[in-house]
Amino acid sequence: MKIAIIGAGAMGSLFGGRLALAGEEVWLLDVWEEHVRAINDKGLAIAAADRDIVARPKATTRLEDIGTAELVIVFVKSTATAKAAETALSLLGPDTAVLTLQNGYGNAEAIAAAVGAGRVIAGTTAQGATLLGPGRIMHGGSGETHIGELGGGLTARLEKIAACLTRAGIQTVADDNVASLIWGKLIVNVGINALTGITGLKNGELAEHDETRQVLALAVEEAVRVADAAGVKLPYGDPVEKVLAVAVATAQNRSSMLQDLSGGRMTEIEAINGALVREGERYGVATPVNRVLTLLIKALEKLPRENRP
């Protein structure tokens, strides 16, 4: 399968590398020239707990190098989703599907506005990765990936993409309820990302301290009340225990929000805890803990890089 990945950060590189190792034709599209050059010259180095491996996806900064793809995966930050969706238009053939595995709420809808809802597959992943430098990432933790058609139901293309990812070592389940998937991942991110960004802790360290466990639980419980008000059935039973389990499963991972703060970049807070606050306002559910977490991250974004976690 010819696969184009828009956004070759930690997660885009992880998925691109694993898919290339499985024999798929993979193109990574990114604006970071040094990263692209390193991948093309030396391959993509993936550091993992058991061993280090080198994958050889193709990488480019030029959209026109790729041509059309059978599958486009969007892995940019939520702040760049609309632009990535416009980029995806140049990669579309008659049957191209566009998959989003991004953090946050509203990405699938933004992509659908550009490429059409019928092409969009949304998903969530518990994989964790950290960008170490040009051409180098660390695979920080594994977990299931779930994907579903934006319009619901199970289709042949959904099963084909799930099988392709699974062959690449990314265990993937085709699901018929995408809203549940997105809310389920949103609540995981609500519990982990802002708290790691504020404290500077790795994911697994959140579960080691009573204080961070308590804040995590408060944020997640608020999010569950909003999901209930929206009529969403979550894909797991005990949300707080689920979020803690994900934190432990990705113990060595520095969350994307922490990586952004450390790197002096803007975060996706408005698409995560901020989105939860807005949905709470929409349904009349108070979200004071998530409002505070949102405001603290936005305050940290204004600090010089050397003063951030």
Domains in the chain: ranges and CATH: 2-176 (3.40.50.720), 180-307 (1.10.1040.10)
3-class DSSP assignment, residue 267: coil
Q: pLDDT class for 307, splitting at 50, 70, 90?
A: confident
Q: Closest Cα partner for 82 from 102, 97, 96, 68? A: 102
Residues 6+ apart with CB under 8 A from 12: 5, 6, 28, 30, 73, 75, 76
**The pLDDT value given to residue 169:** 95
Q: State the residue for tokens 């930690």.
A: 10
Q: Closest Cα partner for 275 from 206, 217, 222, 207? A: 222
**The pLDDT value given to residue 308:** 85
Q: Is 58 a catalytic residue?
A: no
pTM across the whole model: 0.84
Counting Cβ atoms within 10 Å, is residue 304 exposed (0-12), middle (13-18) or buried (19+)?
exposed
- State whether the Cα torsion 193-199-200-201 is positive or negative: negative
Two structure tokens written together for 236: 């797991």
Among residues 2, 42, 77, 185, the one annotated as catalytic is 185
170 close to 144: Cβ distance less than 8 angstroms: no
234 close to 194: Cβ distance less than 8 angstroms: no
d(CA 8, CA 10): 7
Alpha-carbon distances of 262 from 46, 167, 170, 179, 254, rounded to whole Å: 21, 34, 28, 32, 10
Two structure tokens written together for 3: 């696969």
pLDDT tens track for 20-64: 999 999 999 999 999 999 999 999 999 987 789 999 999 999 999
pLDDT tens track for 90-145: 999 999 999 999 988 989 999 999 999 999 999 989 888 889 999 999 998 788 89
> DSSP class of residue 306?
G
- State whether the Cα torsion 276-111-144-57 is positive or negative: negative
3-class DSSP assignment, residue 178: helix
Q: pLDDT class for 205, splitting at 50, 70, 90?
A: very high
264 close to 305: Cβ distance less than 8 angstroms: yes
Two structure tokens written together for 44: 């993509």
φ and ψ of 52, to 5 deg: -105, 140
Two structure tokens written together for 304: 């010089």
Q: Which residue has the higher pLDDT, 193 or 250?
A: 193
